[in-house]
């Protein structure tokens, strides 16, 4: 009985150590030890960061409109689309990172349904150990709903396990205030990949500013 009570108390404590963040598009529970990083207004980018000694975690959410005549819908991606999309992201990202001499590896991309929202999840490895003294790891989630394309990216200087408690709690608390895409028609997969990659590349610019020192002219 005492053991059960202790577990209940610890569970309650872990639930309470978060702060609810809500706006017109989404709501999410952010751990108390994450500090909001201010960004320019009207960018539709939200950032939080946690630094504990030599360990850091970073959470970024970006929002884009899904307002084309035919909605961009990750639900329709098949295995070939996912393989091609993974390759396309790697090639596009590495092209952007030429000046830093870094080759990003994207892996484990798959479709998921998270809190009733269709999503693509993926892992990214940034081999930054020569520049920063550690490699940088990311887990990303791309959501498409009737009105939005939203990317949630969790970054750390330590390998992120699939059962990472902090990420799991963040991901499971994330709710998009929008309905699922009802129409069945959609753009060809090549166009879909290009549009969604543009969202990710916008996010990469944010991550670069956080983890890679700017080159001096």
Distances (CA, A) of 52 to 33, 58, 65, 155, 157: 9, 12, 35, 14, 11
Range of the domain at 136: 35-211
The 3-state secondary structure of 54-88, one letter per residue: CEEEEEEEEEEECCCCCCCCHHHCCHHHHHHHHHH
* Pairing of the two strands 18-22 and 175-176: unpaired
Distance CA 89, CA 85 (A): 6
Q: What are phi and psi of 165, to 5 degrees?
A: -65, -45
The helix (H) or strand (E) run that includes residue 176 is strand 175-176
Q: Is residue 145 domain-resident? A: yes
Residue 24 domain flag = no
Q: Report the chain's mean pLDDT, rounded to a whole number.
A: 80
Instruction: Decide if pLDDT at 10 tops 70.
Output: no
High-pLDDT (> 90) share of the chain, %: 30
* Residue 148 or residue 12, greater confidence: 148
Instruction: Taking the CA atoms of 86, 92, 97 and 101 in sequence, report the sign of the dihedral they define.
Output: positive
Give residue 43's pLDDT.
Answer: 75
Give the integer Cα–Cα distance in Å for 156 and 151.
17
pLDDT in tens, 138-152: 999 999 888 898 999
Q: pLDDT digits over 85-94, tens only?
A: 888 888 888 8
Does residue 8 belong to any structural domain of this protein?
Answer: no
Look at residue 59 and tell me whether its pLDDT is greater than 90: yes
**Residues above pLDDT 70, as percent of the chain:** 76
Q: Is the pLDDT of residue 105 over 50?
A: yes
Q: Is residue 82 part of a domain?
A: yes
If you average pLDDT over residues 205-216, what whole number do you get?
A: 59
Q: Is residue 17 part of a domain?
A: no
What mean pLDDT is predicted for residues 111-139?
Answer: 89
Integer CA distances (angstroms), 43 to 31, 62, 63, 125, 198, in order: 23, 8, 9, 26, 15
Residue 131 binned pLDDT confidence (cut-offs 50, 70, 90): confident
**Do 100 and 213 touch, CB atoms closer than 8 A?**
no
Query: Is the residue at 131 inside a domain?
Result: yes
- With CA atoms as reference, report the closest residue to 36 among 50, 26, 52: 50
Report the pLDDT value the prediction gives residue 102, as an integer from 0 to 100: 83
The answer to whether residue 6 is domain-embedded is no
Q: Report the CATH number at residue 78.
A: 3.40.1000.10
Cα 40 to Cα 136: distance, rounded to the nearest angstrom? 25
- The CA-based dihedral angle spanning residues 141, 154, 64, 197, taken in that order and rounded to the nearest 10 degrees: -60
Domain count, the chain: 1
Which tens digit of pLDDT belongs to each residue from 155-197? 999 999 988 999 999 999 999 999 888 765 455 555 566 566 6
Determine the straight-line distance between the first and last CA of the chain, rounded to whole angstroms.
Answer: 66
Is 1 contained in some domain? no
**What pLDDT is attached to residue 128?**
87
| pLDDT for 183 | 65
């Amino acid at each position: 009985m005492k053991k059960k009570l202790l577990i209940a108390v610890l569970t309650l404590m872990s639930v309470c150590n978060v702060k609810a963040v809500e706006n017109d598009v989404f709501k999410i529970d952010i751990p108390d030890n994450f500090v909001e990083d201010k960004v320019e207004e009207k960018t539709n980018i939200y950032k939080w960061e946690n630094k504990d000694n030599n360990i850091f975690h970073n959470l970024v959410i970006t929002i884009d409109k899904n307002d084309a005549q035919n909605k961009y819908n990750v639900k329709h991606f098949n295995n070939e689309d996912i393989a091609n999309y993974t390759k396309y992201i790697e090639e596009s990202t590495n092209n952007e990172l030429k000046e830093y001499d870094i080759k990003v590896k994207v892996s484990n991309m798959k479709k998921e349904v998270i809190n009733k929202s269709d999503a693509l999840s993926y892992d990214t490895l940034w081999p930054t150990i020569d520049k920063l003294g550690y490699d940088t790891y990311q887990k990303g989630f791309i959501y498409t709903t009737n009105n939005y394309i939203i990317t949630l990216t969790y970054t750390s200087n330590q390998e992120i396990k699939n059962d990472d408690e902090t990420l799991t709690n963040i991901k499971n608390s994330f709710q998009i205030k929008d309905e699922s895409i009802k129409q069945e028609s959609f753009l060809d997969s090549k166009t879909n990949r290009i549009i969604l990659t543009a969202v990710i590349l916008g996010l990469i610019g944010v991550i670069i500013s956080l983890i890679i020192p700017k080159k001096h002219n």
